[in-house]
Structure 1
């Protein structure tokens, strides 16, 4: 796939999550938002790496990593059963 097309798809993925959160359709802790940010920023970070665009790699790499850590945290809390009150 063309490098430019991948850039646009990655950016649209990140922006879709952001717009959805701003319009109240989702929250920044929702799975959809976090997956969109992790994948979109990950694609952009990979493209930055391959083109040696270090500033863009820093931005998108950190964006993707933070989103991935938040996604893992959300998934862990969803998997942990809630204790029943006694």
Structure 2
């Protein structure tokens, strides 16, 4: 595996880990860990997609990253977590 494969694989793993932990009831979508797993995973997967020059996944993971950023900003603005 090359660097791009590792970046994409780690990114996808983090997204799936967030989903699994949410499904098992260990994290909610409002938990900081859930938001950060999605944000980091999507950013890594997007970077890998950019390096592969694969536009459909650049759009998908880029959108996922932006949405996760909005979630993080909303989390940080709310003093009552």
**Superposed pair shares fold, TM > 0.5:** yes
Q: Which runs of 5+ in 2 are unaligned?
A: none
Query: Which structure has the bigger radius of gyration?
Result: 1
Q: Does 1:70 align with 2:71?
A: yes
Q: Which runs of 5+ in 1 are unaligned?
A: 80-86
> Please, what is the CA RMSD of the aligned residues?
1.4
Aligned residues: 79
Equivalent runs, 1:31-42 vs 2, <5 Å: 31-42=32-43
Higher relative contact order (CA 8 A, sep 6+): 2
Q: Does 1:43 align with 2:59?
A: no
What is the TM-score of this pair, normalised by structure 1?
0.85
What is the TM-score of this pair, normalised by structure 2?
0.90
Dislocated runs of 4+, deviation >3 Å: none
